[in-house]
Structure 1
Amino acid sequence: YEKDISHWASSSIQHSTCTVEPGTRTPFGVKGGGHATNRNFVSSPGVLITLYRFNEIKFDPASQTASFGTGPIWDDIYAALAPYNVSVLGARVTGIGVGFVLGGGYAWKSNQYGLALDTVTAFELVKPDGGVVTVTEESDSELFFGLKVMKLSFAGIVTRITMQTFPQTNVWVRFCSAIYRNTTVHLPDFPGWSAQFSAMITDPKANIAASYDCLATVPFATVFLYYDAPSPPQGLFDDFLKIPSHQSNVRERSLLEHITLPPLRNATTNIRIAADTVPILRYTEPVMRVIEEEKLKWCVKELAVTGPFVTYTAEPFLPTMLNHSTLSSAYPPTRDMAFSPFLVYFGWLDEAMDNQVINNVKESAARIRQAVIQDGQNITGAPKYPNYALFDTPVDEIYGGNVNRDPSNVMGLAGGFRF
């Protein structure tokens, strides 16, 4: 320490809080909202850079854009924009950081406007050489392409994002859940109705997220019904509204109020998590039945050993969802066909069970993938959704032919999918 602070002129000496002598290539992590499910993606045994103080949020009424640092969560963004009656394409539940955009971003408005990344107009980027640049399609189209989607392992550290805003009214939502009386009896036809909604819906303002869950060996199902206006057209959600629900909450509310409803309020925080995904063209009834069967199977097999929960969430989107942008992006590698995301994730408490649970997640995801293929859906080469993909997913299963855009691995000491 004394050597480090010493100077030729003693009048130049100051007692620093600490000194650093770089001597090794040290792994580092970059953490925004901290919602990543993969260890070492935004955490690190070396140096951790946290972005909490990059928290400024601005709305520009002239350009109808919002600009914000990468430290906040979407709750903060929605709250800041609410007085202007606008919103952006952000997370669909509470507690998620704005880095969600860098993983693609399926939002409640995606059927209307595309992925969240499709609405980005600029990134502020700190490059590996320390330079700070604003990256747009006009200033550097290749780098702008690569930042969509970088997942924190390409090009540097994003410190600010500028996105298009869209008019935001109150929204209509319903959360309903029903408990299985035992593992051999189905609920009212959740799989069939979810499949029918997925096949028939054409209204871009309508969304559902159908979740098949098990908590402490008690199986249940939940459906989130969402309409991006104060009320939906008559008859749109009739099948679901007939369900005798254990819990139900339906009315007009603000977008922020919606995502912070109790069922969406960080219900699984502070638990060990492993997640994976399967790209799905169509949520058909056979596929939905297999998803339900997997939930029931692991409810018995998994939770008796590891606990406390398993969750499978079907998120159908319109096949036209990717048609709203003419700009290319690292993800998806092709826009010829739109795949809906699907999430399987298991939660447990004991670190000693890590490998077993991760393997269980892989096994279950593989079973569902096989069911999708047997259903006649061609998902060969279909990209996995980066925000849901397990840590050891080969990068070509996410980025396809775009992998060669970063051959030098300039950010290899940081976490994320390795190019």
Structure 2
Amino acid sequence: MRQSLATATFVFSSLLSLAVGESLQARSQYDSTCKEIEQAISSASALYWPGLGSYYKDIGHWATSSSAQAACSVEPGTAEDVGKILQILSANNTPFAVKGGGHASNPGFSSTEGVHIALYRFSSVTYNQAAQTADVGAGLIWDDVYSALEPYSVNIIGGRVTGVGIAGFTLGGGFSWKTNQYGLTVDNLTGFELVLPNGTVAEVTQSSHPDLFWGLKGGFNNFGIVTKFTLKTYAQTEVWGGIILVTEDHLDDLTAATLKFTQTVTDPKAAILPTYNFLIGEPGATVILFYDYPTAPEGIFDDFLAIPAFSKDIGTRTFLDLVLASPSNATSPARGIFHTVSLLKYSPAIMDALVNETKFWGERLSLKSGTFISYDVEPFLPDIFSHAPENSSAYPSSRSSSLLPLNIYYAYSDAGQDETFWDAARQSAAQLTAVAVADGQDVADAPLYGNYAIFDTPLERIYGQNVDALKALKAKYDPEGVMALAGGWKF
């Protein structure tokens, strides 16, 4: 017995020593790569080591669970420097991360223990009035873009709440307040500045690289690092809308108003975003109302305005002001996870299930350090995928019918409860999918939205019939597998 215990202790100690040794060796290799990058980049860029404030800004995320302690961070200031960095990372086989705005909830998708690339210095917005487009740097958040375009009375198809980065949002698809009118963000792209895995800089358009142009519209960071997006612009007036907070005793009123809106309103300028929440020990809800004009037609939002509200901030305002009134990161800093369900419509059965899920998981997860349990209802018109031709983008994989994303978001504080919250999000998504199927919706295997899907979602559930084509495209432009050294959805 003593001999067996001694043997087991020796084996454990040996394995632990081996693991520690490998970790130290990897860290030394990462540090060496960092030093090589520091020597290679131009004065337009900067590299930071742990202990510096800029380093912690670079590796930081909206959800603390999305961050990791990198060996160093680097802020490239030119596309050419991004190319040098990629070449060094490839030669040394060093893992890396690429972060735009830092709003990814999946751990490891834009973080690493290797070299962390933060795109903050790609921060320009250039409006081209003649072409009716805007060139937008990949390090910005949507708030910055809307602010820069506001003096020109134009806008682009982007995020609905404050704090969301443009890079991951755009490369994943992009649902907007103006999606009913103009489609997804990917439907409004006209070009990219892309640093290919071999370090060369390419201007990617439909005419120059039709295959890459298709793959980048929904294909995330599989084909290199995008440093600039060119997007169509549209005239922008002031808008009408804002946010209403609803307490538990009026949730039925909100549900009824939401169902009536989804069943009767066909005006493409009108949109809503109801969110059922469990916060500070009790359920409640918010709803953001939006109309793309300074005044809203009578009747469209009357049922929402009639709900006795805990608070109400509704009126005519700039588009930017409406976005700023709706923080995506109100519960930050916290750990967090997203997941999603795709629906054909929001029905009474779905809405009832959403309220039940909010209460069920809110009560249970609040005992496990849960601070904010949230279900976002995202109704759009049934033709939102028709604003671009079939197979014009990697996502959606089919435009024959439009799928409505439902976002599940859980925030919590205890790192030891990660698995609990991940599993709860999966269970809740499965339950809501089952309710939708029982309600007659053919969504059991419907494609999921990659910007919301939890990290272990199979690629086929996001890209459907496009998976093989995306794998072939990846092999063509990244034969050495450089981008596989970074996190995210990988082909």
TM-score when normalising by structure 1: 0.92
SS at 1:304's partner residue?
helix
Amino acid at match of 1:345: Y
Out of 284, 296, 300, the residue aligned to residue 347 of structure 2 is 284
Specify which structure has the bigger relative contact order, considering alpha-carbon pairs within 8 angstroms and separated by 6 or more residues. Answer: 1
Q: Shift of the alpha carbon at 1:219? A: 1.1
Name the structure 2 match of 1:165. Answer: 233
Amino acid at match of 2:306: K
Is the 8 Å Cα contact of residues 217 and 309 (structure 1) preserved in structure 2? no
Is the 8 Å Cα contact of residues 164 and 328 (structure 2) preserved in structure 1? no
Out of 123, 126, 136, the residue aligned to residue 58 of structure 1 is 126
Name the structure 1 match of 2:61. Answer: none
Aligned 1:14-413 pairs, distance under 5 A: 24-99=92-167, 100-152=169-221, 154-180=222-248, 187-261=251-325, 263-264=326-327, 266-326=329-389, 328-405=392-469, 406-407=471-472, 408=475, 410=481, 411-413=483-485
Deviations 1:178-220 (A, max 9, x none): 2225xxxx63422222122112221000001110001121210
Is the 8 Å Cα contact of residues 242 and 322 (structure 2) preserved in structure 1? no
Q: Aligned pair count?
A: 400
Name the structure 2 match of 1:414. Answer: 486
Gaps of at least 5 residues in structure 1 are 6-16
Provide the rounded CA distance (Å) in 2 between the counterparts of 1:132 and 1:358.
38
Provide the rounded CA distance (Å) in 1 between the counterparts of 2:415 and 2:280.
18
Deviations 1:79-106 (A, max 9, x none): 0000000000010000111111111000
TM-score when normalising by structure 2: 0.79
Provide the rounded CA distance (Å) in 1 between the counterparts of 2:383 and 2:144.
30
Identical aligned residues as a percent: 42
Is the 8 Å Cα contact of residues 151 and 417 (structure 1) preserved in structure 2? yes
Provide the rounded CA distance (Å) in 2 between the counterparts of 1:400 and 1:70.
27
SS at 1:130's partner residue?
coil
Judging changes above 3 Å, is the alpha-carbon distance between structure 1 residues 395 and 124 closer, same or farther for their aligned structure 2 residues?
Answer: same
Gaps of at least 5 residues in structure 2 are 1-31, 37-47, 50-87
Q: Shift of the alpha carbon at 1:24? A: 4.2
Cα RMSD over matched residues?
A: 2.0
Q: Shift of the alpha carbon at 1:174? A: 3.0
Q: Shift of the alpha carbon at 1:22? A: 8.1
Provide the rounded CA distance (Å) in 2 between the counterparts of 1:40 and 1:242.
44
Provide the rounded CA distance (Å) in 2 between the counterparts of 1:366 and 1:233.
38
Is the 8 Å Cα contact of residues 433 and 444 (structure 2) preserved in structure 1? no
Provide the rounded CA distance (Å) in 2 between the counterparts of 1:344 and 1:72.
25
Q: Shift of the alpha carbon at 1:221? A: 1.1
Provide the rounded CA distance (Å) in 2 between the counterparts of 1:59 and 1:192.
42
Provide the rounded CA distance (Å) in 2 between the counterparts of 1:221 and 1:211.
5
SS at 1:311's partner residue?
strand
Provide the rounded CA distance (Å) in 2 between the counterparts of 1:77 and 1:37.
22
Is the 8 Å Cα contact of residues 199 and 282 (structure 1) preserved in structure 2? no
Provide the rounded CA distance (Å) in 1 between the counterparts of 2:368 and 2:450.
29
Amino acid at match of 2:192: F
Deviations 1:321-369 (A, max 9, x none): 1111126100000000001111011110010111111111111111111
